Amino acid sequence: MMRFFTGLALVFLMFFCPSPVLRAGTFEVESRAELNRLMVELRAQQFLTHATFGPKDTDVQALADRMMQIGVRRAASEWIDTQFQLPASTHQQLAEDMVAADGFETTQASINVARYRYHAWWHNAVTAEDQLRQRVAWALMQICVVGESGSNFNNRAAGKLGKGRWLGLSNYYDMLLNNSFNNYRDVLGDVTFHPIMGVWLSHLRNQKQDASQNIFPDENYAREILQLFSIGLYRLNTDGTFQRNPSGDLIPTYDNTEIETFARLFTGLTYNQSNSLRSGTVNFQEPMMMFDEFHDQDPKQVFLGQTLPGGVGGVADINAGLDNIMNHPSAGPFIVRRLIQRLVRSNPSKGYMRRVVRKFNNNGQGVKGDMKAVLKAILLDQEAWDGIRMVRRANPWRLEVTGRGTERSRLSEPVVLYASFIRRYGSTDNPNGYFLMNKLNFNWAQAPYASPSVFNFYLPDFQPAGDIKEYQASRRIPERTIYAPEFQILDGVFANRTPNRFRADVINEELVHTNLNNSTAVIRTTISYDFSAEKALVSDSAALVAHLDAKLCCGTMSNATRQALVETLNLTTNETNRFRVAMIGVLTSPAYSIAE
């Protein structure tokens, strides 16, 4: 339980009632010391919302303690350094352990064994200590996108190493985890050679041109690695704006000539331990191998006026090509914008972009693409904090917390929001402590491994119709246009189903995840929720609502919404209903879903 939130009183001073532009909530406390502590706790929460799958009370307290000692930003930096040192909590081994603990093989029939992939993902999102790494891997998974609709990706049959093929996606995810704190060039390399990507974008068994057969290299991977994983369609400035030619047109980064060239580069790869390019067992466990005779060994005119000489062997050729892509000036702004959108906000300013891209382009030791430097720059930048303004006032001691709105917000990803709910409140009845949670894609249009295409669940440039599309941003925003990607999956179905999930969870105080363990029996995992802190406040509507605002919304719920909820609660003396309405009300509020 958070120490101070329980003692908060909510004040409704009508002359403080904000204009609709502001989202101010006011928290009244007893002393200056409490005021400072509350402010730091909210900062710790805000930071952990960016850097983890959601703040837990104990983590907030620990980080707030340290922030009180050495300052907010330094404590956050120290926390990141600690996270950098933690070993990766991997997903494939965990999934295999979970399968074994239930007495199964990874090739087991009749149990939908591939579901253990989701179990492992949720378990790590909820419990893993290396939260920053988990969160960054999830961001990378939404840049270098693969999805379970790939051929054989849900297959329980054994692959080359005897494990169920469905583990391939977990293996891919582990590859991203292991690279989360490496160099983005490592990400590009390991993604390119991973057999899951080889199947997904069909450069596995891609062969050099054979004009006599009218066979040309498959262009799929060449196109998507450039368009989606590295540099994008148009040349970018370091501040995230587009470069333009003298007549004002956007400048394409490549045309179909380059696509055809890079298609020639990604040739000759197939499953590891194959005897030839076109024969060999599915092997999702090891990087693809090269058959040089099927690799296009001719020189290739690539970016920046460079030519890959060819004749160096396929693997060296591909690596030289990836170096060339990585050296493209658009790589920094392209990747940085996507990482900021996943971790902090939908619309980084030009200054934010410039500051982080500078780190991407040079970590201080002349290295481009250093993920550690980039992540620190993203998470510690002033814009990682300035979405919430906090003003301390005296007589009485109170904190005014304001969400600064449109250009500094984002709609939280549904699975991240739900993971944070489980981290706050959930425990599992599994004897091994496993959170054997299901895919849950009935509730929202997002789930681990479930991207419908290489374009992810939503596009970085999606704008919902209406106000956001029509809004002209301030000059600090690139191109003065704002985006809200996650709204692409907030449709008329899921805008009702997601509140329905929270409502049922609060009422039942548990969610039972049911699965088959063979064709007849059923295996259940119950995730129970501990709402004791909220229930303890149920007789004081204002205190309960202030507590929930601070804990779940970083204090950004407006006084007007808080007042409406308090007035509603005061209509009944039934404590169960007071608790439930307060809890469901906050979990379904704009302030909970829109985060700074």
Residues numbered 142 to 161 that lie near other proteins (CB under 8 A) are 149, 151
Tell me how far, at minimum, the Cβ of 110 lies from other proteins, in Å: 22
Among 86, 259, 450, 536, which residue interacts with other proteins (rule: CB under 8 A)? 259
Q: What is the chain's length?
A: 596
Q: Of residues 187-226, which lie at the interface with other proteins (CB under 8 A)?
A: 202, 205-207, 213-220, 223
Q: Please give the full DSSP string across 407-455, using - where no structure is assigned.
A: GG-EEPPHHHHHHHHHHHHEEE--TT--------TTTSS--TT--SSTT
- Residues 457-516 binding other proteins (CB under 8 A) are 459, 461, 463-474, 479-482, 484, 487-497, 499-500, 503-504, 507
Q: How far apart are CA 44 and CA 122, in angstroms?
A: 23
Q: Of 172 and 494, which CB lies nearer to other proteins in the complex structure?
A: 494
Residue 124 CA to residue 433 CA, distance in Å, equals 11
Which of 91, 328 has the CB closer to other proteins? 328
Confirm if 150 and 282 have CB atoms less than 8 A apart. Answer: no
Cβ-Cβ contacts under 8 Å for 55 (sequence gap 6 or more): 44, 45, 48, 49, 420, 423, 424
By CB under 8 A, what part of segment 332-361 binds other proteins?
A: 346
| CA atoms of 81 and 76, how far apart (whole Å) | 9
**Looking at 142, 238, 361, 406, which residue binds other proteins (CB under 8 A)?**
406
Q: Which is nearer to other proteins, 479 or 509 (CB)?
A: 479
In order of 111, 116, 156, 283, the CA distances from 107 in angstroms are 10, 12, 5, 14
Please identify, using beta-carbon distances, which residue of 85 and 212 lies nearer to other proteins.
Answer: 212
With respect to other proteins, which residue has the nearer C-beta, 273 or 474?
474
Shortest Å, Cβ 477 to other proteins: 10
Count of CB atoms situated within 10 Å of the CB of 329: 18
The dihedral sign for the CA sequence 264, 270, 274, 276 = negative
What minimum distance in Å lies between the beta carbon of 406 and other proteins? 4
User: Applying CB under 8 A, what is the total number of residues that bind other proteins?
Assistant: 99
Distance in Å, CB of 323 to other proteins, minimum? 24
Nearest approach, Cβ of residue 140 and other proteins (Å): 19
CB of 498 to other proteins, least distance (A): 9
- Asked if 411 interacts with other proteins (CB under 8 A), we say yes
- Nearer to other proteins (CB atom), residue 191 or residue 584: 584
Residues 561-580 that bind other proteins (CB under 8 A): 561, 564-565, 568-569, 571-572, 574, 576-577, 580
**Interacting residues with other proteins between 431 and 450 (CB under 8 A):** 445
Dist CA 525 CA 26 (whole Å):
40
CB of residue 551 vs other proteins: minimum separation in angstroms?
18
Least CB distance from residue 256 to other proteins, whole Å? Answer: 6
Dihedral over alpha carbons 269, 146, 53, 384 (to 10 degrees): 90
**Which lies closer to other proteins via its Cβ, residue 173 or residue 254?**
254
Least separation in angstroms between CB 472 and other proteins:
4
* Footprint (CB under 8 A) of other proteins, residues 5-44: 19-23
Q: Where are the alpha helices (DSSP H) in 441-553?
A: 467-470, 494-508, 532-535, 541-553
Whose Cβ is closer to other proteins: residue 310's or residue 387's?
387
* Other Cβ atoms closer than 10 A to 80: 18
At closest approach, how far in Å is the CB of 120 from other proteins? 26
Q: Taking the complex as a whole, how short is the minimal distance between the CB of residue 453 and other proteins, in angstroms?
A: 7
Q: Residue 124 or 451: which CB sits closer to other proteins?
A: 451
**Taking each helix axis from N to C terminus, what angle separates 350-361 and 371-380, rounded to the nearest 10 degrees?**
160
Cβ 489 vs Cβ 142: under 8 Å? no
Interface stretch with other proteins, choices 60-68, 133-141, 252-260, 534-542 (CB under 8 A)? 252-260
- Provide the residue type at 105 as one letter: E
24 vs 187, beta carbon nearer other proteins: 24
The residue (of 93 and 281) whose beta carbon lies closer to other proteins is 281
CB 582 within 8 A of CB 568: no
Query: Closer to other proteins at the Cβ: 113 or 477?
Result: 477
Binding segment (CB under 8 A) for other proteins, from list 102-110, 120-128, 175-183, 401-409: 401-409
At closest approach, how far in Å is the CB of 572 from other proteins? 5
In whole angstroms, give the CA distance from residue 217 to residue 115: 35
Question: From its phi and psi, is residue 173 left (phi > 0), alpha (psi between -120 and 50) or beta?
Answer: alpha
Q: What is the largest CA-CA distance in the chain?
A: 86
Q: Which residues contact 122 (CB under 8 A, 6 or more apart)?
A: 419, 422, 435, 436, 437, 448
Stretch 261-320 residues interacting with other proteins (CB under 8 A): none
How would you label 240-255 residue by residue, b for 16+ Cβ within 10 Å and e otherwise?
bebeeeeeeeeeebbe
CB of 181 to other proteins, least distance (A): 30
Backbone angles phi, psi at 143, to 5 degrees: -105, -60
